[in-house]
Amino acid sequence: MTTTLNAQGVSVIRDNTAIIDQVNMQLSPGEFVGLIGPNGAGKSSLLRVLAGLGDADAGRISMSNNTYTDVAIQQLPNRVRAQLLAYLPQQETPAWPLQVEHLVGLGRAPWHKPMSGKSPRDAQAIERALQITDLTPLRHRIVTTLSGGELQRALLARVFAGEPEMILADEPIAALDPYHQLHMMELLAEHAQQGGSVLAALHDLSLAARFCSRLVLIHHGKIIADGQPIQVLTNENLQQVYGISVYVDCRDDGVVIIPRSRVV
Q: Examine residue 168 and state whether it is found in any structural domain, yes or no.
A: yes
Longest Cα–Cα distance in the chain: 60
Q: Examine residue 135 and state whether it is found in any structural domain, yes or no.
A: no
Q: Examine residue 159 and state whether it is found in any structural domain, yes or no.
A: no
Q: Examine residue 35 and state whether it is found in any structural domain, yes or no.
A: yes
Tell me the per-residue pLDDT of 124-171, one tens digit each, with 9 for 90 and over. 999 999 999 999 999 999 999 999 999 999 999 999 999 999 999 999
Q: Examine residue 15 and state whether it is found in any structural domain, yes or no.
A: yes
Q: Examine residue 53 and state whether it is found in any structural domain, yes or no.
A: yes
Q: Examine residue 140 and state whether it is found in any structural domain, yes or no.
A: no
65 CB contacts (<8 Å, ≥6 apart)?
2, 3, 4, 84, 165
**Main-chain dihedrals φ then ψ at residue 183, nearest 5 degrees:** -60, -50
- With contact defined as beta carbons under 8 Å apart, do 211 and 189 qualify? yes
Tell me the per-residue pLDDT of 74-88, one tens digit each, with 9 for 90 and over. 999 999 999 999 999
User: What percent of the chain has a predicted confidence (pLDDT) above 70?
Assistant: 98
CATH code of residue 230: 3.40.50.300
Give the H/E segment covering residue 240. helix 235-242
Which amino acid, one-letter code, is at 200?
A
Q: Examine residue 157 and state whether it is found in any structural domain, yes or no.
A: no
Q: What is the pTM of this model?
A: 0.94
What is the strand order of the sheet 214-219 is part of?
85-88, 166-170, 197-201, 32-36, 214-219, 222-227
Q: Report H helices in 135-204.
A: 148-161, 178-193
Number of structural domains, the chain? 1
Full domain range(s) for residue 11: 4-92+164-262
